[in-house]
Amino acid sequence: MKKEDKKYYSVAKDYYNRKHHYSIYRFFRFFVKLFYRQYCVLGKENINEAGIFIANHCKIHGPITLQLYFPFKKRIWTESQVCFYKSVSQYSRNDFLKEKRGLSKIIYSILLFIPSFLLVPIMRGSEVIPVYRDKKSIIMLRKNLETIKEGISSIIFAESPEPYSKYVNKLNRGFVDAGRLVHSKIGKCPFYPIYISPYLQIIKIGKPTYYNYENNAKDEKERICNYIQDEITKMAEKLPVHQVVNF
């Protein structure tokens, strides 16, 4: 009987059949960690199993902080455009050049060309979950399911531009669909709230709520999002007075 090939996680493909070492990502992570401040993690005792973690974005600090200091194995949901060479350059220009005009826009376009192409091996090396907003979203949901099945947690920055409280914006509801799929295949799916404070250098993890498959899907989206928004706010309020870095 032929031995089944081992399958390794891949951002860009269904899977790899050999392990990748991602030297560019490892070097970049080591370099950033040399200069980025150490964070204290509170609430690790609330994590009983792999699940979906929802965190406040706090600009660039959220993704960097959890990539460096989240205490367990994880994969972070990330815009799919930065995971592929054919789309990363255009995405970078759209994101960074919106306010540029004339000659400065041309200069910045040239300067962004090389760094934008470094994003792809960095994102693939960190094993992100690519986020799609079209019919390819099924790939995102499958990657998330694969991640949870492996005992690895997924992290989502789901804030919208609309404020909810001083500490967190209202959450986009779509991410809850990932929990519905995980529950249907595994039998449960915990959602954990996370509050990040760059000012205090703290990552605070709250107690989870579990997806209720018997509930109406729309109502369950509201329940889970309201729970996470409220818990993030409560966790932040219990910390010492601090400057808030918003979305």
Give 162-217 pLDDT, tens digit per residue. 999 999 999 999 999 999 999 999 999 999 999 999 999 999 999 999 999 899 99
AA identity, residue 78: T
Minimal CA–CA distance to 243: which of 160, 166, 170, 171?
Answer: 166
| pTM to 2 decimal places | 0.90
Classify residue 125: in a domain, yes or no: no
Q: Whole-angstrom Cα distance, residue 145 to residue 156?
A: 14
> Which domain, by its residues, includes 162?
23-77+130-237
Q: What's the Rg (C-alpha) of the chain?
A: 19
Classify residue 141: in a domain, yes or no: yes
Confidence label for 3 from pLDDT (cuts 50, 70 and 90): very low
User: Which is higher by pLDDT, 41 or 60?
Assistant: 41
In this prediction, residue 130 carries a pLDDT of: 96
Secondary structure E strands in 56-173: 74-79, 129-131, 153-156, 159-163, 169-171
* pLDDT tens profile 143-156: 999 999 999 999 99
Classify residue 245: in a domain, yes or no: no
pLDDT above 60: residue 99: no
Classify residue 57: in a domain, yes or no: yes
In this prediction, residue 93 carries a pLDDT of: 62
Those residues with Cβ within 8 angstroms of residue 247's Cβ, 6 or more apart along the chain or in another chain: 56, 57, 58, 59, 159, 161, 169
Length of the chain: 247
Q: What mean pLDDT is predicted for residues 103-107?
A: 50
Task: Count the domains in the chain.
Answer: 1
* 92-111 CB burial, b ≥16 within 10 A, e <16: bbeeeeeeeeeeeeeeebee
Classify residue 40: in a domain, yes or no: yes
Classify residue 61: in a domain, yes or no: yes
Q: What share of the chain has pLDDT > 90, as a percent?
A: 74
Classify residue 109: in a domain, yes or no: no
In this prediction, residue 90 carries a pLDDT of: 74
Classify residue 160: in a domain, yes or no: yes
* pLDDT tens profile 162-173: 999 999 999 999
In this prediction, residue 111 carries a pLDDT of: 46
